[in-house]
Amino acid sequence: MTESKPPIRVRFAPSPTGHLHVGNARTALFNWLFARGQKGSFILRIEDTDVERSQADFERQLLEDIRWLGLDWDEGPDVGGLHGPYRQSERTDIYRKHGMKLVESGHAYYCFCTPLELEADRKTALSQRRQPRYSGKCRQLSREEVSRRRQAGEPASTRLKIPEEVLSFPDLVHGLTRFSPDAIGDFILLRPGGQPAYNFAVVVDDHLMQISHVIRGDDHISNTPRQVAVYRALGWELPQFAHLSTILAGDRTRLSKRHGATSVDHFREMGLLPEAITNYLALLGWSAADGVTEILSREQLTAQFSLAHIIKSPAVFDLQKLFWLNRHYMKGSPLERLVKLSLPVLRSAGYLGEQVGKETEQWLELVLGAVLKNVDHLSQLPDPVRLIFHFDGREAVQAEENKDVIESEDSRRVVDSFCQRVAAAGELDSDKFRALISEVRNETGQKGKNLFHPIRVALTGRTSGPEMDKLVPIFEQGAKLSLPNPVKNCAERAREFARFALKGAAD
């Protein structure tokens, strides 16, 4: 008879106590990639046993962020499944039942020590330079005493008896990992009110949900021996563990909020694309089989992901690299999609009203086409598009950067010739604009930079920016739309600029 392998089942188990940050998002992604690549199941479990810190709003936001990243789950609090409920706060009876089982089998015991006593013991241990751990005082209580005190209603927690032996487990990333029992006292499984401790609930859930691989951050590696002790006490087989490396910031300290943008909702607000984020997260502690490829689509990642290529040493978070990937994915994205994504940013910059019609959206495609290569992400758009939505002839003439143009006789001749022609030309398109420039070249004898530079300044008020060929139709078509900041067409711009720049120019 051949032994059939148990199905691959992995889980992502966030606590709804804050935003989905880089570390947790990477954990979710690795679990998802592994499940999808191995045709297994990806389970979402909400670990909300910390009632004081857990919030329904955080849970909603977490689910939304994971979904936005493009990670879907097969079982979870909203979709159900055979092994639910998937919220720990709804599983209290299950934990109590297993806690009781452990007391009955002699692997756990009731502890009546008060918080004050425990704190005093802890202080004594610290003052004697001993590692604080529970003294085991209540292990010795007789059965009679325990039942008398419980019947009298004395609050009791349930503690696991930690055996005096090394607790070890094979880790797919770190190899065989061992912990001495000295470091681990008899720890609490259930608090006096019946609330489970994390290390207990997680084992009961992983076992009952038939999790085959526990893939999580290595901040949990020191919890794992406690969990191993629970598995042993319950007579359950261990899942396979894979602890992912720590993520450091550029300053080599653990990445945290103080390092700036580190949460998925923040990235989303910045207008980063989800596929850029998942590609980037995949590279934090994992590498493609060839060790060099860095740009990998979701499909390529799914096909290539393997636990064997997880890197043990810490990963360093590099926002610039995320931006680099984002630029790559923006380039390959349909403009229509990018326009939709940039509406909130342009709205909050005051450039768009609440209602944005089809015509404006089509025009915005031209705008993005012209400025996209100047941004790392969409929330940087207000700066490069400013010269489209805002033009003031007087400001342009007075700007320090335009001094050369205003003061040079040759440049002024170009501006004069150009502005007169624009005024007479009617609506411009790229071809008409180019023809007009040839005429100015012929008339003034200027060429190259000396020709283009003054024209750019006259139309945009700036010495640099997107190609004029692209800007001209944007100005002309934008002027026909009704926008909160009306866009000025080329003729208006040229007229305003000439009025302030050229002495004696027609008003």
Secondary structure string (H, E, C) spanning 237-293: CCCEEEEECCEECCCCCECCHHHCCCEHHHHHHCCCCHHHHHHHHHCCCECCCCCCC
207 counts as binding ligand GLU under rule CB under 6 A: no
Encoded one letter per residue, x for contact with ligand GLU by CB under 6 A and - for no contact, window 424-443 reads --------------------
When asked if residue 19 is in the footprint of ligand GLU (CB under 6 A), the reply is no
Using the rule CB under 6 A, which residue among 15, 61, 177, 326 binds ligand GLU? 15
Residue 216 in contact with ligand GLU, rule: CB under 6 A: yes
**Which residues are bridge partners to 157 per DSSP?**
111
Binding status of residue 453 toward ligand GLU by CB under 6 A: no
CB of 218 to ligand GLU, least distance (A): 11
Contacts of the segment 343-352: beta carbons below 8 A, 24+ positions apart: 345/271, 345/378, 345/379, 345/381, 345/382, 346/381, 346/382, 346/385, 349/381, 349/382, 350/484, 350/485, 351/382, 351/385, 351/389, 351/483, 351/484, 351/485, 352/483, 352/484
Least distance CB 395 / ligand GLU (angstroms): 52
Q: Binding mask 94-133 vs ligand GLU (x if CB under 6 A, - otherwise)?
A: ----------------------------------------
Instruction: Decide whether 217 or 369 has the Cβ nearer to ligand GLU.
Output: 217
Q: Does 29 bind ligand GLU (CB under 6 A)?
A: no
List phi, psi (to 5°) of 216. -155, 175
The reply to whether 13 sits near ligand GLU by the rule CB under 6 A is yes
The 8-class DSSP code of residue 21 comes to B
82 three-class SS: coil
CB of 126 to ligand GLU, least distance (A): 27
Residue 457 sits at φ, ψ, to 5 deg, of -65, -40
Residues 12 and 42 sit within 8 Å (Cβ to Cβ)? yes
* Shortest CB 15 distance to ligand GLU, Å: 4
202 sits near ligand GLU (criterion: CB under 6 A)? yes
Binding piece for ligand GLU, criterion CB under 6 A, among 9-17, 125-133, 255-263, 295-303:
9-17
Q: What share of the chain is helix, strand, coil (3-state, %, to 5)?
A: 50, 10, 35
CB 277 within 8 A of CB 25: yes
CA-CA-CA-CA torsion sign (459, 460, 465, 466): negative
Stretch binding ligand GLU (CB under 6 A), from 10-18, 153-161, 413-421, 472-480: 10-18
3-state class (DSSP) for residue 42:
strand
Q: Interface with ligand GLU by CB under 6 A: which range of 11-19, 54-62, 335-343, 349-357? A: 11-19
Nearer to ligand GLU, 21 or 107 (CB): 21
Long-range contacts of 61-66 (CB under 8 A, 24+ apart): 61/19, 61/20, 61/265, 62/14, 62/16, 62/19, 62/20, 65/19, 65/20, 65/25, 65/264, 65/265, 65/268, 66/12, 66/20, 66/25, 66/28
Specify the stretch interacting with ligand GLU by CB under 6 A; choose among 8-16, 107-115, 283-291, 492-500.
Answer: 8-16
Cβ burial, residue 463 (10 Å; 0-12/13-18/19+): middle
Q: How far is the CB of 47 from ligand GLU (least distance, A)?
A: 4
Q: Quick check: 62 binds ligand GLU (CB under 6 A)?
A: no
Considering the complex, state which of residue 16 and residue 478 has its C-beta at the smaller distance from ligand GLU. 16
**Segment interacting with ligand GLU (CB under 6 A) among 13-21, 248-256, 390-398, 480-488:** 13-21
Q: Does 171 bind ligand GLU (CB under 6 A)?
A: no
Instruction: Output the smallest distance, CB 17 to ligand GLU, in A.
Output: 8
14 binds ligand GLU (CB under 6 A): yes
Query: For residues 213 and 8, is the Cβ–Cβ distance under 8 A?
Result: yes
Residue 257 falls in the annotated catalytic set: yes
- According to DSSP, residue 54 is labeled -
Residues pairing with 169 in the sheet: 177
Q: Is 454 in the site for ligand GLU (CB under 6 A)?
A: no
Regarding 220 and contact with ligand GLU (CB under 6 A), the answer is: yes
Count of residues touching ligand GLU (by CB under 6 A) = 7
Say whether residue 88 binds ligand GLU (CB under 6 A): no
Q: Which is nearer to ligand GLU, 139 or 254 (CB)?
A: 254
Structure tokens at 88: 């720990």
**Cα 139 to Cα 152: distance, rounded to the nearest angstrom:** 19
R_g (Cα) of the chain, nearest Å: 33
Task: Indicate the residue among 216 and 488 with the shorter CB distance to ligand GLU.
Answer: 216
The two structure tokens encoding residue 502 = 């050229």
Name which of 15 and 279 has its Cβ closer to ligand GLU: 15
Work out whether 47 is an interface residue with ligand GLU (CB under 6 A): yes
**CB nearer to ligand GLU: pick between 226 and 298:** 226
Minimum distance, C-beta of residue 227 to ligand GLU, in the bound complex (Å): 8
> Which residue in 97, 257, 312, 373 is the catalytic one?
257
- Which residues of this chain interact with ligand GLU, rule CB under 6 A? 13-15, 47, 202, 216, 220
User: Active-site residue numbers?
Assistant: 257
